[in-house]
Amino acid sequence: MKISVLTLFPDFIENIKDFSIVGRAISENRLALECIDIRDFAINKYLQVDDYPYGGGPGMLMQIKPIVEAIESVKTENSKVYYMSPQGKVLNQKKLNELKNEEHIILLNGHYEGIDNRVIENYVDEEISIGDYVLTGGELASMVIIDGVSRLLDGVLASEDSFTDESHYNGLLEHPQYTRPREYRGLAVPDILLSGDHEKIRKYRLKESLRNTLNKRPDLLKNKKLNEEEKKILKDLLEGGKDNGLY
């Protein structure tokens, strides 16, 4: 797939190209990542891309002309334009799964007090937020999307299990993980993980995944369609009561 990032700070985004999974996706030609400097489409020789808002108010707004021409410089009939905005729908794993199936996505990053709303109304397919807070610009949000999408592309991770078992992928939080040493300062790895019984380990991990979700993000269970095994485990957890505030 291809991702085009429209930004006033292309060097900020360029750094991610050498980072871990994103770098691997690019080197294996599974991801094409380009940065477009919106200032290349500025209205004058001073590289102006902002102006005072009509009607007054604090700060400056990014102008429509540079943004639209930047979009048009990369957009094709198969492109989708996403504006990084605190007013957008909050990003989740489901959305990342949708984005990774797109042929070409354009990530538009605002700055200052935002952008001329005519861009949003006429040139943006969807607004995306990474949380209910405000950042200086959209670049960090774009980098979150780039990283989250890259690792989902076919063949980037060594195994599909590398992401399908993770938190949020299946609507639940991930089960706890452990590695060597087996014991450290009296803290031991659960014996069942060393048993070699794959079915028991699977059931243990499912139970701990449900326990984690129940304790940390019970809101996720409201929208999760549980299978019969998951329903039984959750029922047992709830009937078992709370131990020091935890199930």
Binding site membership for S-adenosyl-L-methionine: which residues? Answer: 110, 130-135
Specify binding-site residues: 110, 130-135
Residue type at position 110: G
- Per residue in 75-91, is it b (16+ CB within 10 Å) or e — as a string? beeebbbbbbbbebeeb
In whole angstroms, give the CA distance from residue 37 to residue 34.
10
Tokens of 208: 């701990």
Residue type, 247: Y
**Strand extents, DSSP E, the chain:** 2-7, 32-37, 50-51, 61-62, 79-90, 104-109, 126-129, 183-184, 187-188
The whole-angstrom separation of Cα 62 and Cα 52 is: 9
**In b/e form, how buried is each residue of 222-235, taking b as 16+ CB within 10 angstroms?**
eeeeeeeebeebbe
List the structure tokens of 192: 């069942």
Q: Assess contact for 71 and 81: CB atoms under 8 A.
A: yes
Residue whose C-alpha is closest to residue 218's, from 201, 196, 242 = 242
